[in-house]
Amino acid sequence: MRNELLELDARILAAASVVGKKEREGPLGEKFDLCDPDGRFGRKTWEGAESEMQRLAFNTVLAKAGMRDTDVGALFAGDLLNQCVGSAYGLLDFDVPYFGLYGACSTCAEGLLLASAMVSSGLLDCCGTVTSSHYCSAERQYRTPIEYGSQRPPTAQWTATAAGAFLVQKNQRSATPRAVIRRGLPGKVIEKGVNDANNMGAAMAPAALDTLLRFFSATGTRPLDYGRIFTGDLGHEGGKLLCELMALEDYADFADVYDDCGRMIYFKTEQDVHSGGSGCGCSAAVLAAEILPSLLRRNGPSRVLFLSTGAMMSPDSIKQGQNIPAVAHLLEIVAE
């Protein structure tokens, strides 16, 4: 029988987040590193703005770690734009080997899992990962341009204008507290008949369920063995569905320690985001600005699970009425 669980030992050296105006006005507010109130980041196009977010995020994480780009052995990056051009253009200025990823909203955990595997195995000394999303670029690619003014149903989520960057290296003894990625579980592509692009939470919840059940089975753990369990980004609709599915699998206590990055980044009613946030940058920014800092606080959780969930659809597959496949990658992160 194959062993899907990855035993890792990767220290997160630094994390950085970049957001837009709406994200800065949310519950996490000033915890994000950088913000541009007009969302353009000095560029003429929304796609150019997203590339600039990635450049800023990676520059910031390098500065936090006191490193140069030449100190990084490889960079794993991706976004929601066709052929991941946001990442390719945004990271042009850096002298780092580049791996382009497409995991939709699961890209943050996917990149961290691959980077952690590289450094834990000793293949590379240090790896970076970057991901982003932008509300205006995603809307006109997957749905309609914002100028069209189409109505969004209650199950729809708001694509976060956000980017997150991380640096990892093989864990070493240290006198300072650190967040360490101890285990990882790659997700499987799951499809349960959902074809509504305005209800991605329902499409992704079964993938999160599959990954969680496999992880608990492989490790012999249960939800209450962790201080918190985070998904990103099922939103309010998908998060509620996941809790119901977990209860049916005899994990009713899951809801006691569960939260979702798409629910954490916005005020649901005041900011009119319907079912919450989504996008590659949503979980990445929340992980960098809130989850990792709380993990290192004395009164915070010392052991968390982090799952990024992705709806693996394309503009063409939506137009053709195809069902939406999804994937969820998992990381176990501990404070040491």
Least confident of 2-6, 34-38, 205-209, 231-235: 2-6
Give the rounded distance of the alpha carbon of 82 from its chain centre.
18
Regarding whether 307 and 224 lie in a shared domain, the answer is: yes
What does the pLDDT look like over 273-301, one tens digit per residue?
Answer: 999 999 999 999 999 999 999 999 877 78
Q: How far is CA 251 from CA 55, 62, 205, in A?
A: 41, 40, 15
DSSP letters for 95-127: -S-EEEE--GGGHHHHHHHHHHHHHHTTS-SEE
**328 and 218 share a domain?**
yes
Q: Which long-range contacts (CB under 8 A, 24 or more apart) does 255-259 make?
A: 256/223, 256/224, 257/223, 257/224, 257/226, 257/227, 257/228, 257/229, 258/223, 258/228, 258/229, 258/230, 258/231, 259/228, 259/229, 259/230
Answer whether residue 200 shows pLDDT above 60. Answer: yes
* pLDDT tens column, 120-134: 999 999 999 999 999
Whether 10 is in a domain gets the answer yes
Asked if residue 230 and residue 150 are part of one domain, the reply reads: no
Query: Are 218 and 320 found together in one domain?
Result: yes
Decide: helix, strand or coil at residue 266.
coil
Q: Kindly tell me if the per-residue pLDDT of 1 is higher than 60.
A: no
pTM confidence score: 0.96
Owner of token pair 């990892």: 168
Gap between the Cα atoms of 168 and 71, Å rounded: 12
Backbone angles phi, psi at 78, to 5 degrees: -165, 170
Structure tokens at 326: 């999804």
238-248 confidence digits (pLDDT tens) = 999 999 999 99
Residue 291 lies in a domain: yes
The answer to whether 260 touches 286, Cβ cutoff 8 Å, is no
213 and 102 together in one domain: no
Q: What span, in angstroms and rounded, lies between the C-alpha atoms of 248 and 280?
A: 29
| pLDDT at res. 197 | 85
Helix (H) or strand (E) holding 64: helix 46-65
Q: In the prediction, which pLDDT does 285 show? A: 98
Percentage of the chain exceeding pLDDT 90: 84
| Residue 302 falls inside a structural domain | yes
- Co-location of 284 and 212 in the same domain: yes
Q: What percent of the chain has pLDDT over 70?
A: 97
Same domain, 109 and 187: no
CA dist., res. 185 & res. 211, Å (int) = 7
pLDDT bin (cut points 50, 70, 90) of residue 336 is confident
The count of domains in the chain is 2
Average pLDDT over residues 248-253: 97
Average pLDDT in the chain:
94
Residue with tokens 């990792």: 292
The reply to whether 123 and 184 lie within a common domain is no
Does a structural domain hold residue 133? Answer: yes
1: in domain: no
* Final residue of a structural domain among 132, 149, 170: 170
Q: Are 44 and 166 in a shared domain?
A: yes
Q: Residue 321's domain is classified under what CATH number?
A: 3.40.47.40
In degrees, to the nearest 5, what angle opens at C-alpha 265 toward C-alphas 241 and 82?
80
pLDDT for residue 318: 80
Question: Residue 286's domain spans which residues?
Answer: 179-335
Mind listing the pLDDT tens digit for each residue in 49-99? 999 999 999 999 999 999 999 999 999 999 999 999 999 999 999 999 999
pLDDT band at 147 (very low <50, low <70, confident <90, very high): low
Q: How confident is the model at residue 232, as a pLDDT? A: 92
215 or 315, which is more confident? Answer: 215
Same domain, 12 and 97: yes
Residue 118 has pLDDT above 80, yes or no: yes
Those residues whose C-beta lies under 8 Å from the C-beta of residue 215, and which sit 6 or more positions away, are: 5, 185, 221, 305, 330, 332
Q: Are 9 and 251 in contact (CB under 8 A)?
A: no
